[in-house]
């Protein structure tokens, strides 16, 4: 029974990891959390950000939703339930994180449903397509520009372009744009390929997602600063083999 496995897992955690990190948990309990990084990741069970980055409790503030999407800011704020925006707001305004990572991934079911549109087996779900329509224009752009390419190639392009769309939407929140302009907050677009176990980061210089080899933090930070002004159009144009217009 799957639930029994969870309880066994918690028991192992309590006797193992928790005991081994008692000082850390005591510090976190007494002083509260102070993560420097917000990760926006997919709900997909295969892409746990804490496991992928081997972080400890207190290191990363995490929002997970279908397809790792950030919706555009709503001004003036309304009374709907903006769960992702609320988590981002708390991380940025409340915790003062210094980095935001949007982490897309290969074989994303949410992106697959967006790519397939009305042909998707999930097309008549109550909430799914409304949520993933955050990247509808990006999806349409990719489908149009990569006409004739395989479905796999188009889906991968939408997975990556949707990361950039979410980065652009992050910048629509005033308190994010202000901090990025002041240099106190850096945004990053990453994509994890589980079939090869490799992490990719968007490189504004080439307008493509490129493998992150080893640890080149300074380079990643420089790219992250430049990334804030990048729109999916440039990435899609690079993929389509066209000369970027900007």
Closest to Zn ion by CB, 107 vs 226, is: 107
Site track 27-46 with Zn ion (rule: CB under 5 A), x = hit = ---------------x-x--
Q: How far apart are CA 158 and CA 117, in angstroms?
A: 13
Residue with tokens 């997970």: 64
Site track 94-123 with Zn ion (rule: CB under 5 A), x = hit = --------------x-x-------------
Residue 70 near Zn ion by CB under 5 A = no
Q: Report the site for Zn ion in 136-195 (rule: CB under 5 A).
A: none
Yes or no: say if 61 and 122 are a contact pair by the CB < 8 Å rule.
no
Q: Report the site for Zn ion in 44-63 (rule: CB under 5 A).
A: 44
Yes or no: say if 163 and 190 are a contact pair by the CB < 8 Å rule.
yes
Smallest gap from Cβ 41 to Zn ion, in A, equals 8
Strands annotated E in 17-153? 37-42, 60-65, 99-105
Q: How far apart are CA 233 and CA 139, in angstroms?
A: 11
Closest to Zn ion by CB, 108 vs 115, is: 108
N-term to C-term CA, the chain: 55
Smallest gap from Cβ 181 to Zn ion, in A, equals 31
Smallest gap from Cβ 105 to Zn ion, in A, equals 6
Closest to Zn ion by CB, 104 vs 204, is: 104
Yes or no: say if 60 and 103 are a contact pair by the CB < 8 Å rule.
no
Q: How far apart are CA 177 and CA 183, in angstroms?
A: 10
Q: Tell me the number of residues near Zn ion by CB under 5 A.
A: 4
- Residues binding Zn ion (CB under 5 A): 42, 44, 108, 110
């Amino acid at each position: 029974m799957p639930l029994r496995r969870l309880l066994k897992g918690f028991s192992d955690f309590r006797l193992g990891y928790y005991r081994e990190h008692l000082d850390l948990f005591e510090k976190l309990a007494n002083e509260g959390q102070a993560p420097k990084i917000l990760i926006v990741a997919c709900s997909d069970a295969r892409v746990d950000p804490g496991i992928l980055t081997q972080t400890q409790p207190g290191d990363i503030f995490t929002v997970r939703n279908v397809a790792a999407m950030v919706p555009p800011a709503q001004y003036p704020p309304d009374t709907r339930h903006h769960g992702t925006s609320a988590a981002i707001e708390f991380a940025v305004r409340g915790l003062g994180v210094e980095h935001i990572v949007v982490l897309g991934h290969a074989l994303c079911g949410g992106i697959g449903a967006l790519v397939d549109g009305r042909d998707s087996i999930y097309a008549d779900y109550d909430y799914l397509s409304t949520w993933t329509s955050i990247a509808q224009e990006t999806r349409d752009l990719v489908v149009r520009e990569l006409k004739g390419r395989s479905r796999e190639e188009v889906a991968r392009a939408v997975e990556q372009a949707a990361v950039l769309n979410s980065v652009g939407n992050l910048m629509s929140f005033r308190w994010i744009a202000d901090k990025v302009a002041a240099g106190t907050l850096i945004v990053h677009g990453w994509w994890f390929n589980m079939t090869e176990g490799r992490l990719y980061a968007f490189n504004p210089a080439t307008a493509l997602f490129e493998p992150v080899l080893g640890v080149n933090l300074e380079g990643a930070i420089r790219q992250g600063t430049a990334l804030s002004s990048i729109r999916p159009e440039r990435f899609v144009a690079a993929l389509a083999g066209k000369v970027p217009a900007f």
